[in-house]
Amino acid sequence: MAEPTGTGPLTLRRSPLEHLKDTMRAASVSGASGVSLTEWPFLTMVDVRVAPGSAAAVRIEHALGTPLPLRCGDTTASGPHAVMWLGPDEWLVLSQEDGAELTDRLRAALGEDAGSVVDVSANRTTLELRGPAARDVLEKGCPLDLHPRSFGPGQAASTTVGPVPVVLWQVAGAPAYRLLPRASFADYLARWLLDAMREYGHEAEAPLGS
């Protein structure tokens, strides 16, 4: 999502990991054991609570253009929106749409029915760990079984990486995971991941036959 232009408060905001951007770029490793770490800042995130299958839930699904996933680990997606299951009546919507506009539309869909729609974009940031060694890096400190038979592309779950609580989402395509930590824990998590990546950089630097 493009950064805002012009003047005003949005042009002055800094992501939780702005200060580590160059460090993360320098830590990228290419090749068969490659892995990279980047931040996706300022994604819109909206927490939705509503009774599944209710009339309000159906209206919210229509507003998003995608059904609300009904099982732990499931996600759905359509256009700029992805929806993650957080609990029996709770979902996290990630979007490239403006947060205020999306929140207003989902609140209108909820109407007077029981539930809540809250813009939580400032609560978290998004890290992407990508490359052939991405799963190996995560397995150093994530208790989930990340083998493809148990956790594959399109699945997301609340877990921990190192000591940090995150929502972990495996995205489609090349081996890639997005981690959603609280903004206050983002620096610690990024540094933990960079340390876990270090051995793959050493492997790439090793001479042939060593």
Q: Are residues 129 and 193 in the same domain?
A: yes
Distance of CA 34 to the CA centre of its chain: 20
Q: Taking the C-alpha atoms of 101, 102, 104 and 105 in order, what is their torsion angle to the nearest 10 degrees?
A: 110
Residue-level pLDDT at 201: 84
Q: State which of 76, 91, 122 marks the end of a domain.
A: 122
Same domain, 48 and 111: yes
| Residues 139 and 189 occupy one common structural domain | yes
Residues 112, 51 within the same domain:
yes
Q: Same domain, yes or no, for 47 and 117?
A: yes
Q: Are residues 132 and 197 in the same domain?
A: yes
End residue of a domain, out of 72, 87, 122: 122
Range of the domain at 102: 43-122
Q: Which of 87, 122, 157 is the last residue of a domain?
A: 122
Residue-wise pLDDT tens for the chain (210 aa)?
Answer: 344 444 445 557 889 999 999 999 999 999 999 999 999 999 999 999 999 999 999 999 999 999 999 999 999 999 999 999 999 999 999 999 999 999 999 999 999 999 999 999 999 999 999 999 999 999 999 999 999 999 999 999 999 999 999 999 999 877 899 999 999 999 999 999 999 999 998 655 544 444
Q: What is the CATH number of the domain that holds 108?
A: 3.30.70.1520
Provide the β-strand partners of residue 92.
47, 84
Residue 1 lies in a domain: no
Same domain (yes/no): 107, 170: no
189 and 139 both lie in a single domain: yes
Does a structural domain hold residue 190? yes
Q: How many domains does the chain have?
A: 2
One domain for residues 21 and 55: no
pLDDT at site 172: 83
Output 68-77 pairs: Cβ under 8 A, ≥24 positions apart: 72/157, 73/151, 73/155, 73/156, 73/157, 74/154, 74/155, 74/156, 75/154, 75/155, 75/156, 75/169
Asked whether residue 158 falls in the same domain as residue 62, the answer is no
A 10 A CB-CB count for 175 gives: 18
Q: Are 26 and 36 part of one and the same domain?
A: yes
Q: What is the pTM of this model?
A: 0.89
Q: Where are the alpha helices (DSSP H) in the chain?
A: 9-12, 21-26, 55-64, 99-110, 134-138, 186-205
Quick one: pLDDT at residue 51? 98
Flag whether 194 is in a domain.
Answer: yes
Q: Which pLDDT does position 6 carry in this prediction?
A: 42
Q: What is the CATH number of the domain that holds 178?
A: 3.30.1360.120
7 is a domain residue: no
Same domain for 109 and 60: yes
Residue 2 in any domain: the answer is: no
